[in-house]
Copies of this chain bind each other. A is one copy, B any other.
Amino acid sequence: MGERGMRAGLALVLLNTLALASAAAAADALPSWNEGAAKRAVVEFVTGVTTAGGPRFVPPQERIAVFDNDGTLWCEKPVYVQAAFLLERVKALAPQHPEWKETEPFRSVLAGDLGGVVAAGEKGLVELVAATHASMSSEEFAALVRAWLAAARHPRFERPYTDLAYQPMLELLAYLRANGFETYVVSGGGIEFMRPWTERVYGIPPEQVVGSAIRTRYEVRDGTPVIMRLPEIDFVDDKAGKPVGINTFIGRRPIAAFGNSDGDFEMLEWTTAGPGPRFGLFVHHDDAEREYAYDRASAVGTLARGLDEAPKRGWTVVSMKRDWTRIFPFE
């Protein structure tokens, strides 16, 4: 072995040592994950893409990870948090709208008849969004969301909804960022419903939040410029809309995607179809005791095709029951 060969050999030993050290540090970075296949898959992926000179190395600027929100980062049962917000907004606004008592879908909301709300379909949902989420500025809407989240409590856990982020996922977000990843939320939920609190709860700043949106318009209102929220849907960031939202907002294909339902299928498919190391993961809600158990038969957060295809596509499925030692930070 010549001097150059020795130097190369030493460099390799050093790199392997660093990789092992990184993997060891990783184990500590995910204390709420049980040792098992899911954690091992995460750590191996991150170790691979961060090992300089290794065959799976990915430069930091390409380390983009995308996370669904509802059911992946925080609890989505018994209803989406944004749906709870919407229903309570209808009740709060009802005194100004006496006609709502006789008009669907408002009548059903006020009567507490969720079946009636669902029966009103997409048209009813758009009307509810228009009545509760629009005709105010973006800043006014953000203030409403903040005030509501500060006061509202989850019906089962009796805590603020923002306490119901999953501790293992918070650890995963921090672990990825510590390894040079940019972490994005890519959610079917409203982009301006999430941005007021994702930085505080997930460490994800507003500019790394992608979501569904209503149309907005710039106006100078009484001499003050505002962004007005219009009663019209602009973009639905769900299913095949997720890769579109990723491409529009981020402009790079992620190398890792995390979801919990078939609404995330295309996001995982798009992410993992790219060249080089890729990672896809579904959170499987199978823990009725500590959280909720649902998959194929659930109207919200349906996971069927994802469960069927995960093995052959090389995606990881996390069992909340077996893989996570803790669900929520407050436990």
Contact = CB atoms under 8 A, between A and B. Distances in A.
Interface of A: 61, 64, 138, 182, 191-192, 195, 199, 205-207, 209, 213, 216-218, 220, 224-225, 227, 240-244, 247-252, 266, 269-270, 273
A191 B249 CA distance: 10
A207 B249 contact: yes
Copies of this chain, tallied across the complex: 2
Given A61-B205, A225-B270, A249-B249, 4 more contacts: A61-B199, A206-B250, A216-B248, A227-B243
Nearest to A246: B227
B217 A250 contact: no
Contacts of A138: 247
A244 B217 contact: yes
A270 B216 CA distance: 14
Given A225-B270, A273-B224, A191 B251 contact: yes
Given A217-B244, A218-B243, A240-B217, A250 B191 contact: no
B182 A207 contact: yes
A11 to B, nearest CB: 28
A165 to B, nearest CB: 19
